Homo-oligomer: A and B are copies of this chain.
Amino acid sequence: MSKNLTKRSEDYSKWYNELVVKADLAENSAVRGCMVIKPYGYAIWEKMQAELDKKFKETGHQNAYFPLFVPKSLFEAEEKNAEGFAKECAVVTHYRLKTDPEDASKLIVDPNAKLEEELIVRPTSEAIIWSTYKGWIQSYRDLPLLINQWANVVRWEMRTRLFLRTAEFLWQEGHTAHATKQEAIAETEQMNNIYADFAENFMAIPVIKGRKTESERFAGAEDTYCIEALMQDGKALQAGTSHFLGQNFAKAFDVKFTSKEGKLDYVWATSWGVSTRLMGALIMTHSDDNGLVLPPNLAPIQVVIVPIYKGEDQLDQISIVANELVMDLRSKGVSVKFDNRDTHRPGAKFAQYELQGVPLRIAIGPKDLEKGTVELARRDTLTKQFVEKDQVIDTVVSLLSEIQESLHQKATKFRDEHITEVTTFDEFKNVLEVKGGFISAHWDGSAEIEQKIKEITKATIRCIPFDGKEENGVCVYSGNPSKIRVLFAKAY
């Protein structure tokens, strides 16, 4: 495995693309726009899944599974949804191939196997789920209905990038139904908070919580909450969204319930999701010119032990120490790998684990055996230290939590340094050009101005932050009065 990564300062985008492939996270497939998630990348995704799934279940959600296909008519039922999503999508029109009568080595679509109604490969599942909920919800006793689905979805994107924008991606989508508006709004908030907590405390990614403007909202939502992260190149990345859907879907699919008081009403809905895009956020928050840097919480291998040896005898002796460390570390819940492959030299192994972001590396050579020490190297700081053998376990355990914390702090510092308050539009453009990051600016609330700023600068309103304080000002573009600052940025 060769390093030779492009430097971030040279070409951030190229660095990202190379890193994803060289660190064995994912690659492009034979299918346009669809990725293969390789075992190492998938192992990180599994850790995200496990933690999120736990948080969902702790808050009373259950998993279920709904069909991959959505009949075209279901999209027609919910106009706004159709406008937003049902356009660029994979359409199944036939259900059979047959051998080409003119060339037996070829397959052709059987024209006699045309579907009566086309099926859309789900770009999101509101339509199919709400058509199902109609049969599940009659009374207040059936509410709240708190369901999540882990699934693949397909959106026919023209320009794709591994993890960040792919035609097929993996995600979870929560779809809940409630008796009251207040309860649905509380759920929308709760899930956005869960995403924020997960990003900050598990992925070590600082995020800003806020709501989207109307033009950035999910089609069919009355309100979209989000968490916005900042990548190292100064571009923002939407890391998760939680939508208050009002009664839109209930009305489109006629989902009513009888209240305790015997009144019939439409139910209130939310939906919320995060996707394999988070892999992109992870990479672009922590990694460096040497490769991936992983927070210990997400590292498939937290500690790797590499033996430095000449001949079988030395390896045997090192293995005794190494295997003992493996056992002791595992008993502390640390995931550890002893890489005793004789097909690769230590240098190649060092390079591989650096590239793949393994948080701690232990090297053991003959001199270490003599001195009763090991060499312990930290991936995030690239620092090394010698540690007494009987101190290794404690040192590793405490370093892992230190690294987790330190990555979060470093990313938070970077993010905070890249939120710039501006007053004039010249300042706005200048900061965006020179420094990037979030620009905190007054905006008059008009979609037209938002659009103009976007056209001129390519920056969009990432969110209206929840923690924004009221402040009298004037819109950075129109000069109209404004009460609150919003965050602009160029975004992934």
Contact = CB atoms under 8 A, between A and B. Distances in A.
Interface of A: 27, 29-31, 34-39, 42-43, 45-46, 62-72, 74-76, 79, 82, 86-98, 105-107, 109, 118-121, 128, 131-132, 135, 141, 147, 151-152, 154, 156, 168, 170, 343-344
A119 B90 contact: yes
A64 B27 CA distance: 12
Given A27-B135, A29-B128, A39-B63, 16 more contacts: A30-B71, A34-B68, A38-B64, A39-B62, A39-B64, A46-B63, A69-B168, A72-B97, A87-B98, A88-B96, A90-B95, A91-B93, A91-B94, A91-B95, A92-B92, A141-B344
Given A92-B121, A94-B91, A97-B72, A67 B132 contact: no
Given A75-B107, A93-B109, A31 B168 contact: no
19 contacts: A30-B131, A31-B119, A31-B128, A36-B64, A39-B64, A45-B65, A46-B63, A69-B168, A72-B107, A82-B107, A86-B97, A88-B95, A89-B97, A90-B92, A91-B92, A91-B94, A91-B96, A91-B97, A92-B92
A76 B105 contact: yes
A95 B156 contact: yes
Contacts of A45: 65
Nearest to A91: B94
Contacts of A67: 29-31, 34-36, 168
A87 B118 CA distance: 18
Nearest to A139: B343
A133 B112 CA distance: 35
Contacts of A34: 67-69
Nearest to A86: B97
A64 B300 CA distance: 13
A89 B82 contact: no
A154 B68 contact: yes
Q: Which of A35, A66, A120 has the most CB of B within 10 A?
A: A66
Nearest to A29: B67
A327 to B, nearest CB: 16
B68 A152 contact: yes
A332 to B, nearest CB: 20
Contacts of A151: 152
Nearest to A105: B76
Contacts of A65: 36-37, 42, 45, 170
A405 B141 CA distance: 37
A64 B35 CA distance: 11
Contacts of A109: 91, 93, 118
Contact of A39 (B43, B70, B121, B147): B147
Contacts of A128: 29-31
Contact of A121 (B62, B121, B344): B121
A296 B94 CA distance: 43
Q: Which of A35, A43, A90 has the most CB of B within 10 A?
A: A90
A175 B91 CA distance: 28
A466 to B, nearest CB: 31
